[in-house]
Amino acid sequence: MRILQLCNKPPYPPMDGGAKAMHNITRGLLEAGHQVKVVCISTPKHPLRVASIPEDYRAQTAIEGVFVDTGLNIVDAFTDLVTADNYNISRFFSPDMDIRLIQLLSQEEFDIIHLESLFVTPYIPTLRRYSKAKIVLRSHNLEHVIQERIAQGERNFLKRPYRKFLARQLKQYEQAVLKQVDGVAAITAADALHLESHGSGTPIATIPFGVWPAEFEAAWPPGPLIFFHLGSMDWLPNEEGIRWLLRNVWPSVIQKHPGAQLHLAGIRMPKDLIRTRLPGTTVTGRVPDALRYLAQRHVMLVPLFSAGGMRVKIIEGMAMGKCVISTTMGAEGIPCSPGHNILLADTAQAFIEQIDLVLAEPIRAEQIGMQSMALVRQYHNNTLIIQDLLAFYHGLPPK
């Protein structure tokens, strides 16, 4: 099968959750014996650096990128308010990318065009005009749900109406896109049900994020428990969650457990957080080796209140046998059992109580970590997930 994978940012190197989700699809399809051509949007925040990509990956994918300046433009954002376009989406459209797709589709034929996220759907009209391939949307998140949740927690009374407006726009756009694609590969069952509720009749499958379990060794280092968070800090839900944790949870933990340790890391860590001197905290930015960082720590904290989709870092942490304390929202899409392979907490007091629990019983934290590793091996094995994706491709109704 010949597949064109159109990405909203470079899938390589797989530095954050979105890039990893895309990269694991690419790698899985290639390992299953299919041809994959990768075309991505290269942005100021996420540039494609072809020279840094391994030669075999370049040869297999013929990866290329088109630069699109997705930075905030106040004039364009205001214009979209007037025209009812959604600026979150429209800023990813570029005539240069449109022209490159026309050239590519005029020269090559594909069986499937796999769209990574809602942000590349503005190119659907061009894809339809120049290709007979079936178009599948890979839904990483329900973008309008994220905006709705951010709006609910927005403290700035001037920003709140704008975020609500964006959420309504995004919802209308997502509903319209469902009618334009041949299928949707949702990352969680909850997302799939939500999309099905729109009544478009478009085939929808649940294709979760997957890893290769054999590449993740259980690691429970000796010594006192270290709590940690690792995630991209230019993603607003992550930043909001960590600021909430530092403001509402960690001071009480330190008061009861003066020796407790909290390590925070992630790309584009806000400078004021790096400079923070809260007792027991160690804050860094990007780490050179994420898996090593995970291996050297014990309990992952995931305080998310406006997320959607599936948290890649939770899956990776579980794959290494880490105990995870998450909000219910942060654990969405993962078939976990609270108290067995994960600990859930949705309030500051609940987070404090779960942290108290594992500090009092470190062996309990290790046992939960071992159960979480078993969960990943059963439900998030990428080889099996790719088989499901291919079956979905083949089962799409004829055009």
Peptide bond just before 122 cis, omega within 30 deg: no
Q: What is the pLDDT of residues 275-305, one digit of tens each?
A: 888 999 999 999 999 889 999 999 999 999 8
d(CA 152, CA 220): 38
d(CA 145, CA 336): 22
Give residue 220's pLDDT.
93
Q: What are the backbone dihedrals phi and psi of residue 230, each rounded to the nearest 5 degrees, phi first?
A: -135, 120
d(CA 384, CA 96): 37
Q: Which residues pair with 6 in a beta bridge?
A: 39, 115
- The amino acid occupying position 320 is M
Q: Which residues pair with 67 in a beta bridge?
A: 42
Least-confidence region, from 133-137, 148-152, 290-294: 148-152
Number of Cα atoms under 13 Å in the Cβ half of residue 33 = 1
Domains of the chain (ranges; CATH) run: 2-210+381-395 (3.40.50.2000), 213-379 (3.40.50.2000)
Yes or no: say if 323 and 289 are a contact pair by the CB < 8 Å rule.
no
Average pLDDT over residues 183-207: 91
Yes or no: say if 144 and 118 are a contact pair by the CB < 8 Å rule.
no
Average pLDDT over residues 245-274: 96
Share of the chain above pLDDT 70, in %: 90
Give residue 60's pLDDT.
97
Instruction: Please give the residue that has the higher pLDDT: either 113 or 310.
Output: 113
Residue 86 has pLDDT above 80, yes or no: no
Give the predicted TM-score (pTM) of the model.
0.84
Residue 148 banded pLDDT, cuts 50, 70, 90: low
Residue 81 has pLDDT above 90, yes or no: no
Helix (H) / strand (E) element for 3: namely strand 2-7
Q: What are the backbone dihedrals phi and psi of residue 119, each rounded to the nearest 5 degrees, phi first?
A: -70, -15
Can you give the C-alpha Rg of the chain in angstroms? Answer: 21
Tokens matching residue 212:
């290769």
Positions of E strands within 290-365: 299-302, 323-326, 343-344
Yes or no: say if 311 and 331 are a contact pair by the CB < 8 Å rule.
yes
d(CA 190, CA 141): 11
Yes or no: say if 370 and 322 are a contact pair by the CB < 8 Å rule.
no
Residue 235 banded pLDDT, cuts 50, 70, 90: confident
Residue 76 has pLDDT above 60, yes or no: no
- Mean residue pLDDT of the chain comes to 90
d(CA 398, CA 117): 23
Q: What is the pLDDT of residues 317-332, one digit of tens each?
A: 999 999 999 999 899 8
d(CA 9, CA 171): 22
Give residue 17's pLDDT.
84
Could you say which DSSP state residue 350 is in?
A: H
Give residue 77's pLDDT.
46
Give residue 171's pLDDT.
83
Give residue 308's pLDDT.
58
Number of Cα atoms under 13 Å in the Cβ half of residue 58 = 10
d(CA 60, CA 67): 22
Give residue 236's pLDDT.
85
Distances (CA, A) of 16 to 72, 194, 232, 290: 21, 25, 6, 10
